[in-house]
Amino acid sequence: MKMKNLVSLAIVFLAILTSCNKNEFIIKGYVYAENPVLAGCTKENPMSGTLCLYAEKQDGTIDTLKFLKYTNNKFEIKGEVDQYKKVFLSVDDDMFAYCIYLQPGTIQGVLHGGDGNDYSILSGTPLQDYYNRYRYIHNTWLGNLKKHEFYVDYGKEINNPKMVKEAKEGLKQNDIDVCESFLKLVKENPTSLVARDQIKIQITSLDTKNLVELEKILQSFDETRDIAEQCATILKARKSINIGQVAPNLTLKLIDGKKVKLHDVKADYKVIDFWASWCKPCRASLPSVKKLYNKYKDKNVQFINISLDENEKAWKRASKKDGIIWMSACDKGFGSESAMSFNVIAIPKMFVLDKNNKFIETNIHANELEEVLNKLIK
């Protein structure tokens, strides 16, 4: 009889233990240098530092979930999650954080700091593996983009019109391919946390044909009808972003926490520059933008930077580091009101408005801005 009681107690204890651990998540792996190829970093070349696992609240503030040290390149994070959740994991307080979709289970892989984030890979749970497929599509598009842009520039340099033409055709086809691949992946599970989140991020980059199809798909599910409405907003915006038309009256959330309406900003001309801390071309253009700001700030020209960072901490840190002293605002991601209203599908992207908030320029780069302003201000 005693043996039966012991067995019963063991079964109950095991059931309790299993119940306690059913929500457990584990994230583990190795941390290497920014660029493992250049640094020659291996498991035999140990590193130590800190990791921060955090989530973003709806108000944009950071909710730190775990803060820990790693040694000898190794790390392991344990915790519990009662519902699927999007979090970020940063290495040594770097602004480039790796996105993780938490659910019970084990995620493992390799992390790299800074620019090496492109080499990072964490996988092992259904949600995270699904996200990695979106990431692969984006990285493939980005790699092809860099390749074709190189041949456009090189073709111009060596005066080879055929090369330039083929490279530009490649750029167009690359955009078509990424839209089709993205939509195909969304169709597999449109109501999942990953799909809904990635749609919000990439929604403005879809061409009109695929955006119309996406809207129809999302209208079929209660969980995604709000995103379907965003699709309709973007489609409407694409018909209104033209020279001579009045720009949308955005509500700008400034870096000091204040809010201001775009139309309430008084100036003869407004330069609106969409960027993000993670966008290397954006940050590379900031010195020339700063030079133009100093040249025209006393000539009633207002510069307004709108960051599409989802991580406000990264936006504020990059703004301080790069010396952005003019008006700076943030609206999260390509699915934000600002990006959708201005039909921003890639960054950097600049607009110029007149004193009546009408578009003068709708798609220029920093190296073209001085010529535009010189013509306007004589």
Specify the pLDDT at position 58: 66
Specify the pLDDT at position 158: 93
> Euclidean distance between the first and final Cα of the chain, in Å?
101
pLDDT along the chain (378 residues), means of 10: 55 51 89 58 65 79 82 90 88 78 94 69 94 92 88 90 91 89 94 90 79 91 89 77 84 85 89 87 82 87 89 85 87 81 80 90 77 82
Domains (range + CATH), the chain:
22-124 (2.60.40), 128-237 (no CATH), 251-376 (3.40.30.10)
Nearest to 128 by CA among 155, 88, 75, 178: 88
Specify the pLDDT at position 37: 47
What span, in angstroms and rounded, lies between the C-alpha atoms of 343 and 322? 26
Specify the pLDDT at position 60: 61
Which of the 8 DSSP states describes residue 254?
B
What span, in angstroms and rounded, lies between the C-alpha atoms of 283 and 291? 14
Q: How many residues does the chain have?
A: 378
Specify the pLDDT at position 94: 66
Specify the pLDDT at position 184: 94
Task: Tell me if residue 244 falls in helix, strand or coil.
Answer: coil
Specify the pLDDT at position 177: 92
Nearest to 202 by CA among 138, 123, 147, 149: 138
Specify the pLDDT at position 221: 92
Q: Is 343 within 8 Å of 204 (Cβ atoms)?
A: yes
Burial pattern 303-337, b for ≥16 Cβ within 10 A else e, equals bbbbbbbbbbbbbbbbbeebebebbbbbbbbbbbe
What span, in angstroms and rounded, lies between the C-alpha atoms of 113 and 33? 6
What span, in angstroms and rounded, lies between the C-alpha atoms of 260 and 252? 5
Say whether pTM exceeds 0.85.
no
